[in-house]
A and B are shown apart, each in its own frame.
Chain A
Amino acid sequence: MVRSAGIDVAVPRGWDAEIYQRDGDFTGQSAGDAGASRPVVHLGTFPLPSSRGDFGSGAVEIMNQDDLLVVLFEYGRESVGTPLFARSGIPRVAAADFGPNNMQRPIAGQSGAQYFFNQSGRAFCLYVVLGAHARRNELVPEVNQVLAGLTIDPE
């Protein structure tokens, strides 16, 4: 179990996990709360490299076909209640959601899926990368197993 910033993750056997605080001046997307620190959760079936980007750059490159990367990225308070985050509750993923073009940066053979949602008054993006798009039917249940062990408390 890994716990930080009101987020609990039951880490499956053999997975790596880390919950860290990203800088508040995040500029890649509108994360809001300028200056505020927000948590990012990374879970991987492989050794997570010590240097990697919020959405997995530096990690996805070393994934093999059986690997999975799950990213949970929290946005600022002003995002709560906006249409993008209208979906309530931690999503469950489906094989049909994944596509090579959903990757932050496409890598041959891999595919990704992205979900925006709110939980406990907080706004999140869930981003999942599959090591092999061709194996999505086998890999997706593992992702949902991880998501079932994820708990998000109110701030």
Chain B
Amino acid sequence: MTAVLIIEGVAIILLAILVVGLLRSNADVLRALHELGAGEPGTRTTGSRHQHPAPQREGTAPDVSGSTLSGSAVHVGVTGTGHPTLLAFLSTGCSACMGLWEGLATGVGRIGGDDTRLVVVAKGPEAESESRLRELTPEGVSLVQSTEAWTDYEVPVSPYFVLVDGPSGSVIGEGSAGSWNQVTSLMSQALADAGTGRPDRIDNGELRADAELRRAGILPGDPRLYHDERPGNGRGMSA
């Protein structure tokens, strides 16, 4: 009888370990799916600098080389420029891209300010329909066909957007979005997070609110910072 109880106990422990392992595995899968935007169509927010394309080439974003629809060899400077560049990785075959193609002429002016340069990057002629690209690309929009750029930036899905800071060559933000409004939102947030024009900090990194309080003569510990005028009691959490 004792032996049976011991065997049962061991079996229960093993089953418990198995269940825990399965739960952890499931959690990993769910986490990965979340990062890929599953369940939130068109709103993958890999955002900011945490997942930028390979801190490759000594941490700077690679320039884009490829061809134009007229067959020219072209090179677009992305790093070392005086302006940000928004790379829009679009394809003619993805349904989520259609609205973005249609909105190309008007939808991007607000992203990162007027000096942000938009470059549409499609895959090379071996993977894209050039005639369809001609139909979809508005006049005056820069389009480069470069499968290499898709590889360099490790583009996981289309549509996909990468905003590069020109002077530093660092990727400010990236992600997938299904509309230009979402692109604007995604990249504006990334710009704010990156610190360029960050609204809550000033040049020396000090919180803007702290600086304004200091100028008003309100320093850390000032009783006026606390609702009950007792410093150090829980930062204004009193009733």
Taking Cβ atoms with an 8 Å cutoff, the residues of A that contact B are: 1-4, 9, 11-21, 47, 49-51
Instruction: Select one of B77, B139, B142, B166 contacting A15, CB under 8 A.
Output: B77
Instruction: Select one of A11, A49, A50, A51 contacting B75, CB under 8 A.
Output: A11
Are A2 and B75 also in contact (CB < 8 A) when A14-B166, A50-B142 are?
yes
Interchain CB contact under 8 A, A19 and B73: yes
Within 8 A of A (CB), among B85-140: 117, 139-140
Interchain CB contact under 8 A, A18 and B75: yes
B51 interface residue (CB < 8 Å to A): no
Interchain CB contact under 8 A, B70 and A20: yes
Interchain CB contact under 8 A, B73 and A2: yes
Residue of A nearest to B169 (CB): A13
Give complex CA distance A27, B62 in Å.
39
A49 surroundings in chain B (CB, below 8 A): 140
Q: How far is the CB of B19 from chain A (nearest CB, A)?
A: 55
A-B contact pairs, 15 of them (CB 8 A): A1-B75, A4-B72, A11-B77, A12-B80, A14-B79, A16-B74, A16-B77, A17-B73, A17-B75, A18-B72, A19-B74, A47-B77, A47-B83, A47-B117, A51-B139
Q: How far is the CB of A69 from chain B (nearest CB, A)?
A: 13
Q: How far is the CB of B193 from chain A (nearest CB, A)?
A: 24
Not counting A17-B74, A47-B76, a sample of 6 additional A-B residue pairs whose C-beta atoms are within 8 angstroms of each other reads A2-B74, A4-B73, A11-B77, A20-B68, A47-B117, A51-B139
Interchain CB contact under 8 A, B72 and A19: yes
B83 surroundings in chain A (CB, below 8 A): 47
Are A14 and B80 also in contact (CB < 8 A) when A1-B65, A2-B65, A50-B140 are?
yes
B117 surroundings in chain A (CB, below 8 A): 47
Interchain CB contact under 8 A, A11 and B63: yes
Q: How far is the CB of B60 from chain A (nearest CB, A)?
A: 9
B65 surroundings in chain A (CB, below 8 A): 1-2
A12 surroundings in chain B (CB, below 8 A): 80
Q: How far is the CB of A109 from chain B (nearest CB, A)?
A: 18
Give complex CA distance A49, B76 in Å.
11
Residue with the highest number of chain A CB atoms closer than 10 Å, among B65, B71, B73: B73
Give complex CA distance A87, B187 in Å.
51
Interchain CB contact under 8 A, A21 and B71: yes
Q: How far is the CB of A113 from chain B (nearest CB, A)?
A: 23
Q: How far is the CB of B73 from chain A (nearest CB, A)?
A: 4
Q: How far is the CB of A154 from chain B (nearest CB, A)?
A: 19
B76 surroundings in chain A (CB, below 8 A): 16, 47
